[in-house]
């Protein structure tokens, strides 16, 4: 007989990332640049894409000064930095563009809550990119943008991002909308692309909910329970990443920041609609996950009920029959039935009658 | 013995429509017209109804220019387009009336959240029409309206709508209110008709709740549980479709939009009352569905209790009796009772006494 | 053996009144007077009470013009109409007093959500009167008031109302406060009387909760579960009727309407206090009803526990004893105990010892 | 066998006081003074304490005019009335101080919701004093204050209050703060003392929660369930009494009322802090009580689990053994084992082996 | 047989600290300094740290006047008082700096709700420091700050605090930011350090949640239930300590207080972000704890299900076999099977066939 105790060690744990970092800086004075988060890559790279409706230039280097020097004021300059562990690189870039030290701190803190903030020289936006490679867990990556007059700085934890399509279009299509617009439009395209990618995560979660629903109805095991709990946790963490984004986008779409031109704000209204839709869908999934738990509970009760019925049917049929057999197994000297010629047959008759009554009773109760 | 495992494949799945589309456009720049949603029909058609208090004209064609050319400025012009998959047709109509490209995108997106938006030349309203053909599922269809100076454009996923009655009244009754009013009144009649149709959906749901209530009390099966869960899901999705409509209608009834004349706004107050009533009723049904789940749970417990009682009564009566029979089945040489003349009768007496005591005990406990 | 399956057909259903009507008008243009609701009476009657501090006049007729003609401008005129099914009568009265057609529509709609609305010539208030004749269900009746300059129109579904006491006092006591005041004071007395009557409903519900509480603790049956569910539903519907009244009274007590004189507004503050108290008490009862459900659940579990204990005690005592008897029922040729003189007695000793140990074990576990 | 059915009649019922009264006045016109509530005492008394920094005078009488005449304008005059059933007395006092009849009505209504109201001549405050004499129930008493220019009227249901300490300090300590201050300071001291007394109630509830927690873990009975339900109800009623007090104190501390001098308002800020703390603690206890219910449920399930384990262990061990004994109790003529010399011993060996296997199996499953 | 009843006396109780104090002062007039809370230390100490960018001075004494006299107006003076039980010391310090008596009262009240308050001469901030020495309980300590023009008074219950690192940096690094800034910056550093330390508590709780999750899945015992309840309680109390801090910090970061210079406010924005993050994480953990309870419940049901399966399998297999053996144990004279040569073997065959059918049946049902 084998039961389905899963190995406790293969329970897919969720790291509580926000806690690891915070205790690291506890007690440090502000303004000290420390990378808070796991080091996800060894390499660090500075990339430049610089364009306007006429020209397009690409460059990349491990050293910031090779990139940041000689930027044209005529073009939109997108400087992308991969690898938050290289604190010096980030400080250099920061100093070159006169980025406030509070911004730099937040960029380096992988557990920073998403937010938008306006400083004199820059608009700062930080949020999470989500990645659901397989159906078991979501990868959270910190991404920050610093929007200046004619440039955008983007900071990522490691190489590889959602913007490959954008890069190609900028490069190959001189007539694309972005080529004719300013840095704030590029900024909008970044935020829009990231928010759109959240829908992929939701799709992934929707699939898992449907699979779990079938599992709960057909064959609920302990493993199912773990999966539901896991899903619940992921939705809780997802929520923490997405809610503040709505807030931030809402501020932008209200036109609070002069870095975003009036004509770009209407696009942010669109992004805002999408964040609302992401959040509403997420809340829907939370409700569905909660009711999955209830249904699991009920499914287990149903199964127990079935088990009990089988036991009861068997016991209720055979216990009285065994009692009858027991009677005629007694050794009394004077038991007239034992001497009757058809005694044995009569007992069988009695037993079969009892059986019939029981079966009819259970049929009536619709137990089988 | 046969148990009621339903076939897992006949579980009525709910498609999560909002997810299919969103990943399609993820990464696309804005302003590119793509139809997002299932193609529900092959045909696409442009229909015109043009009227004022004196004249009435009807026309329809597969080509937009045959319809959109030569519209009179003296009449109210209602141009209805069936079939969102025909992107070119929609672009042509859009261009003819100078509809903003953001509006066109939203029209083509079957999963657009209901909303109202004012642009310089148009008022845009998009929402869902609901259809409960049978008691098992609700069909969601996207419907969009573009209100211009003296025309309304309406966009539907496929032919066939709720407005047949309106069309007939406009055509046959030159004295009807609508014939004397402007395009904004026609617009109000559209929204009103759609919101009124929501009550039919609620009626359908009310019936299903009542049926499920009886089922839960009388004979709760696994299938019942699935139906409750299905209902729960539908209410969640219904909510997502109806809540934003209230918001949108509220904005109109506050007189925020100059496209709606002051005299029409009082009618929108009425529509607003109806949306409130729809939402309150919906919330009521959500509460009832939640308590259906609790009652199912309790009903299952009650049934188990009953099963256990039957088992306990049988076991408690026969186990002691079988024990007594067992005693006198022993083969000891010296067992005085076995030789007694009335030993056998005495044992029967003992057994019947035991039985009586048990029955009285259970009667006292009110177990049967 | 008899179990308490209640007849499914005596389950007290709650009609969902708000749904029946709505689908009736769906698609109709506004301004068409149709009675939406059940016809509760065949008769329809117009009653007049007209008074000031000096005179008092009463009249009633089946025809509206007999009543509405020749009203004095010196007196407060209360015209009461019984029977909403008589649409013509209501149209006549409406036209005489120039009542807006939107008001008339709402008066005729028995499922109208309670609300207050100000029009140029009138203040309109519609709400529900509640009646708990027996402890099984609440009767909802629609009641509407139209307050004009020196008259009030009241519309009821059928004859018989809460205002008999008011009528008598007006008639018999020329010094009563109301006789010296204006129509708005009479209006206040109507609303106050109706809101006060809600307390009677709450009292009725409180009694039912207490009865159910005892039932749940002492003898929870399936019927109890149905009663709890019934109560839950009634509180949900009650809530839908009472919440909007608070809103409406709040608007009046804030002095938003010039039809209510400043000196009368302080009385509406009092009514507002009462609606708050009604709602708070109602919420309290909702909480109590929810916890009744939990307690029912727990009570059922408790009972099952008890049943299981009885089974376990009996089985645990007799199964080992039966085993011992089984041993000495074996037919081996060489079983020395069988030949011992005191073998039989020894077996009894063994059994009694086993019994004692079991009893002590259960005592220790406090199972009985 | 004895089970713990509690006597249904000793279930400590909670009176729903707010309902008894309300139906009494339903239909009465406003301004009629009727005592609504239980008559808690036969006596009624008017007491005067009159003081300033120089003098102190005490007096009491059953007649109001003996007290209210000849009050000095130089002193703070506190007139306390015990016994709300004496409506005439209260009317006399009311008339003497020109108290608005709406105030007098509220004073006489023992179920008045706590509130503060400003009238031209007075500030009116009504709230509940709570008393937890034993651990089984809380006694609610209505207490009202009318603050005039240099006097305070206080109205209590019966003799005996929380202010004995205050009285003594006023009398014996001419340098006490209160002696130097105005009537509004005395008013503050009343409210402060009553709010502070709420903490005693919370302490009482905290103790009961802890006792119940132990009971639920160690020996959950039906009685425990009743106690939890009782506690839940009391918290619901407590909440109804305390929430509105916060509202009222908040209004005062915002300086809305000119009867409270600016220097006294800072003290009301302090009282406000306390009401917040009372409410937060109360909400905490509500949470704890809810989780008590869950834990009770779980505790019962745990116990059932244990019972089932005992049954299963006994049955699983002895049923197979009894089967073996049954085999060799058969009367077949040709059963070779029966003739074997060591057949009997071998069967014992077989049984012991079976027993061992079972025990090892259960040990592995950690069932004991 | 041994079950896991934990000793009721080792249930880790949570003191309800807020109640102990409150009843102590109930009835006392305001302005009387009494220490409310446990005396955590015997010693009491006044420490001075006085610095500017040029100089640094440290001193400590048991007497306040030795410290408070001769403070320089050129330096930032931090006076730290350990030991709230020494009321005289605190009164002396308070009088020296003209601290309002309401502030002093709040400082002495160990159960004061966290808050910020501005007085003419001071800004007052009181909150809790949390300490999780082991995984079983959190130690709450009251900490208050009084910010004056060029000094900060800090009040702690006992020696030892979170500021050792700050002290060292101030002393050893003349170029540290704090040395160049004013008292309000030091004030910010205090609040920041305390809020950062909350993350450590959250980390501790996260660990306990993960451990409990494993326990619930693998081996849920009664002890597990107690731990979950304990955790729930701690989160409730933690919440009461942290929520008001957010409120207070929010007020500061909005620039409401002129004691905080404009340049320091941006740092408080940062602190505010952290409090938001603490609270969001805390709410996440509350959700997880609630679902732990549900999972415990489900886990117990799962275990019961398993137990029932074992019982049912054993009973269902052996009860019919025992019945067959019982048949041939009967003593009828005429039982042909008994005389058959292969009767015994045939019975064995019958039994084995029955066994096979049962096993196949259970396999199909996937019961093992």
Q: Would you state the pLDDT for residue D29?
A: 62
Mean pLDDT over E201-216 rounds to 89
How far apart, in whole angstroms, are the C-alpha atoms of residue D10 and residue C365?
27
**Does residue D231 sit in the same domain as residue D205?**
yes
* pLDDT (mean) for A337-350: 87
Which tokens sit at A12?
A: 């897919």
CB-CB neighbours of B136 under 10 Å: 11
8 Å CB contact of C343 and B332: yes
What band does A185 get if pLDDT is binned at 50, 70 and 90? very high
Contact B50, B56 (CB under 8 A): yes
d(CA B40, CA B61): 19
Q: Give the ipTM.
A: 0.71
Domain boundary, last residue among B299, B334, B352? B299
By the 10 Å C-beta count (0-12 exposed, 13-18 middle, 19+ buried), D4 is classed as exposed
User: Is E355 domain-assigned?
Assistant: yes
The answer to whether residues A43 and A115 belong to one domain is: yes
Which of the other chains make 3 or more beta carbon contacts under 8 angstroms with chain B?
A, C
Do the domain assignments include residue D6? no
- Is residue E289 within 8 A of residue E235, CB to CB? The reply is yes
Quote the minimal CA–CA distance from E176 to chain D in Å: 39
Interface test with E, best of A22, A315, A327 (most E CBs within 10 A): A22
Work out the number of other CB atoms within 10 angstroms of the CB of residue D343. Answer: 20
Q: Do C315 and C196 belong together in one domain?
A: no
Q: With respect to residue A1, please indicate whether it lies within any of the assigned structural domains.
A: no
User: Tell me, what's the pLDDT at C7?
Assistant: 35
User: Are residues A135 and A283 part of one domain?
Assistant: yes
Cα distance between residue C17 and residue C37, in whole Å: 8
- The pLDDT of residue E30 is 61
Burial state string for E34-71 with b = 16 or more CB within 10 A and e = fewer than 16: ebbbeebbeebbbbbbbbbeeebeeeeeeebeebbeeb
Structure tokens at B332: 């000891």
Q: What is the pLDDT of residue A122?
A: 92
**Contact assessment for residue B57 and residue B96, using Cβ atoms and an 8 Å cutoff:** no
Distance from CA of C92 to the nearest CA of D (A): 31
Using CB atoms, which residue from E27, E222, E236 is nearest to D193? Answer: E27
- Check residue A23 and give its pLDDT: 45
Among chain A residues, CA nearest to E329: A329
Q: Looking at residue A112, which CATH number applies to its domain?
A: 3.30.460.20
Same domain as C291, residue C210: yes
E30 closest CB neighbour out of D270, D322, D332:
D270
Pairing of strands C45-51, B115-118: unpaired
Considering the domain architecture, whether residues E290 and E220 belong to the same structural domain is answered as: yes
More confident of the two residues E351 and C30: E351
Do residues E135 and E240 share a domain? yes
Closest E-chain CA to A119:
E266
pLDDT score of D17: 38
pLDDT at residue B9 in the model: 34
Whether A170 contacts A176, CB under 8 Å: yes
Average pLDDT, chain E: 83
Domain coverage including residue D353: 306-364
Round to whole Å and give the CA distance between B298 and B59. Answer: 60
Tally the domains of chain E.
Answer: 2
Residue D13 lies inside a defined structural domain of this protein: no
Mutate to test the interface with D, among C298, C351, C361 (most CBs of D within 10 A): C298
CA D308: distance to chain centroid?
Answer: 39
pLDDT of residue E133: 66
Cβ of B217 within 8 Å of Cβ of C222? The answer is yes
Q: Are residues C246 and C189 in the same domain?
A: yes
According to DSSP, the β-strands at C56-61 and D139-147 are unpaired
Judge if B168 and B312 occupy the same domain. no
- Predicted confidence (pLDDT) per residue in C154-206, tens digit: 999 887 778 888 888 888 888 888 888 999 999 999 999 999 889 888 888 88
Please state the φ and ψ torsions of residue D78, each to the nearest 5 degrees.
Answer: -110, 110
Q: Interhelix angle for C87-96 vs C101-108, to 10°?
A: 150
Print the SS3 string covering C38-50.
CCCCCCCEEEEEE
pLDDT at E27 over 90: no
The pLDDT value recorded for residue E134 is 62
Q: Which residues of B touch C238 (CB under 8 A)?
A: none
DSSP-derived 3-state class of residue C322: helix
CA-CA distance, A62 to A89, in Å (whole number)?
9
Q: Decide if D119 is inside a domain.
A: yes
Helix or strand or coil: residue D60?
Answer: strand
Q: Is residue D269 part of a domain?
A: yes
Q: Tell whether E209 and E357 lie within a shared domain.
A: no
Q: Which string of DSSP letters, residue by residue, matches D128-170?
A: EEEE-SSSS-PEEEEEEEEE-SSEEEEEESSS--TTHHHHHHH
Per-residue pLDDT tens digits for C296-327:
988 888 888 888 888 888 888 899 999 999 88
pLDDT at A5 > cutoff 60: no
Q: Give percent above pLDDT 70 in chain D.
A: 89
Out of A146-150, A290-294, B82-86, the most confident range is A146-150
Same domain, D148 and D244: yes
Do D217 and D338 fall within a single domain?
no
Helix orientation angle between A262-327 and A222-253, rounded to the nearest 10 degrees: 160
Contact partners, residue E354, CB within 8 Å, separation at least 6: E320, E321, E324
Please state, for a pLDDT cut of 90, what percent of chain B lies above it: 24
Q: Which stretches of chain B drop beneath a pLDDT of 50?
A: 1-24
Quick check: is E200 in a domain?
A: yes
pLDDT band at residue A40 using 50, 70 and 90 as cut-offs? low
What are the tens digits of pLDDT across the range E144-192?
Answer: 999 998 899 999 988 777 888 888 888 888 888 888 889 999 999 999 9
Of the residues A260, A282, A299, the one at which a domain ends: A299
Query: Is the pLDDT assigned to residue D277 strictly greater than 60?
Result: yes
Can you tell me the distance from the alpha carbon of B289 to that of B294, in angstroms, rounded to the nearest whole number? 9
Number of H helices, E strands in chain A: 11, 7
Partners of D263 on chain E (C-beta within 8 Å) are: none
pLDDT digits (tens, 9 = 90+) for C9-33: 333 344 433 333 444 455 556 666 7
Chain-chain contact of E300 with D298 (C-beta, under 8 angstroms): yes
**Which pTM was predicted?**
0.78
- Tokens 């009367």 correspond to D331
Contacts of E355 in chain D (CB under 8 A): none
DSSP notation for A57-114: EEEEESSHHHHHTT--SSSEEEEEEE-TT-HHHHHHHHHHTT--HHHHHHHHBTTPPP
User: Could you give the CA distance from residue D368 to residue D310 in angstroms, rounded to a whole number?
Assistant: 9
| Neighbour tally for A367: CB within 10 Å | 18
Least confident piece of the model among A30-34, A105-109, C349-353: A30-34
Average pLDDT, chain D: 83
Number of CB atoms found within 10 A of residue A131's CB: 15
Residue among E325, E331, E342 whose CB faces D327 most closely: E325
Q: Encode pLDDT of C207-217 as tens digits.
A: 889 889 989 98
H-run or E-run covering A189 = helix A183-218
Give me the percent of chain C exceeding a pLDDT of 90. Answer: 24
Structure tokens at D199: 């903490």
Please say if the pLDDT value at position D19 is more than 60.
no
With cut-offs at 50, 70 and 90, classify the pLDDT of residue C78. Answer: very high
User: Which one of E14, E15, E30, E355 would you mutate to disrupt binding with D, by most D Cβ within 10 Å of its Cβ?
Assistant: E30
* Closest CA relative to residue A268, chosen from A281, A287, A255: A255
Nearest CA to D130 out of D78, D195, D85 is that of D195
- Give the CATH number for residue A348: 1.20.58.340
Per-residue pLDDT, D4: 38
Residue E172 covered by a domain: yes
* Residue reference for tokens 């144990």: E329
Whole-angstrom distance, CA of residue C15 vs CA of residue E187: 65
DSSP B25-43: HTTPPTT----BS----S-
pLDDT in tens, D234-258: 888 888 889 999 989 999 998 888 8
Task: Choose one of D250, D282, D299: the last residue of a domain.
Answer: D299
Nearest to C260 by CA among C185, C192, C191, C176: C185
pLDDT at C127 over 50: yes
CA distance D259 to chain E (A): 20
């Amino acid at each position: 007989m084998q039961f389905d105790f899963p190995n406790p060690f293969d329970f897919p744990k969720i790291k509580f990332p926000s806690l690891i970092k915070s205790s690291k800086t506890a007690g440090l004075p502000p303004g000290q640049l420390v990378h808070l988060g796991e080091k996800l890559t060894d390499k660090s790279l500075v990339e430049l894409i610089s364009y306007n409706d006429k020209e397009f230039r690409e460059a990349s280097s491990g050293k910031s000064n090779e990139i940041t020097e000689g930027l044209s004021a005529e073009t939109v300059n997108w400087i992308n930095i991969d690898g938050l562990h290289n604190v010096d690189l980030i400080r250099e870039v920061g100093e070159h563009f006169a980025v406030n030290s509070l911004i730099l701190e937040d960029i380096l803190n992988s557990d920073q809550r998403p937010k938008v903030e306006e400083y004199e020289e820059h608009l700062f936006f930080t949020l999470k990119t989500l990645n659901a490679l397989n159906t078991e867990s979501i990868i959270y990556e910190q991404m920050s943008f610093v929007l200046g007059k004619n440039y955008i700085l983007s900071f990522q934890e490691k190489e590889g991002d959602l913007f490959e399509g954008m890069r190609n279009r900028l490069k190959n299509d001189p007539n694309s909308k972005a080529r004719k617009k300013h840095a704030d439009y590029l900024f909008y395209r970044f935020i829009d692309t990231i928010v759109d990618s959240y829908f992929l995560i939701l799709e992934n979660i929707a699939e898992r909910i449907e699979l779990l629903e079938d599992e709960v109805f057909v064959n609920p095991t302990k493993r199912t329970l773990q999966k539901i709990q896991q899903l619940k946790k992921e939705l809780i963490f997802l929520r923490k990443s997405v809610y503040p984004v709505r807030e931030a986008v809402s501020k932008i779409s209200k036109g609070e920041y002069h870095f975003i031109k009036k004509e770009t704000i209407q696009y942010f209204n669109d992004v805002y609609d999408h964040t609302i839709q992401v959040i509403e869908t997420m809340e829907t999934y939370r409700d569905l996950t909660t009711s999955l738990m209830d249904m699991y509970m009920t499914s287990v009760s149903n199964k127990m009920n079935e088990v009990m019925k089988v036991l009861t049917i068997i016991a209720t049929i055979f216990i009285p029959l065994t009692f009858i057999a027991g009677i005629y197994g007694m050794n009394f000297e004077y038991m007239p039935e034992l001497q009757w010629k058809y005694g044995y047959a009569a007992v069988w008759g009695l037993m079969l009658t009892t059986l019939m009554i029981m079966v009819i009773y259970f049929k009536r109760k619709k137990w089988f």
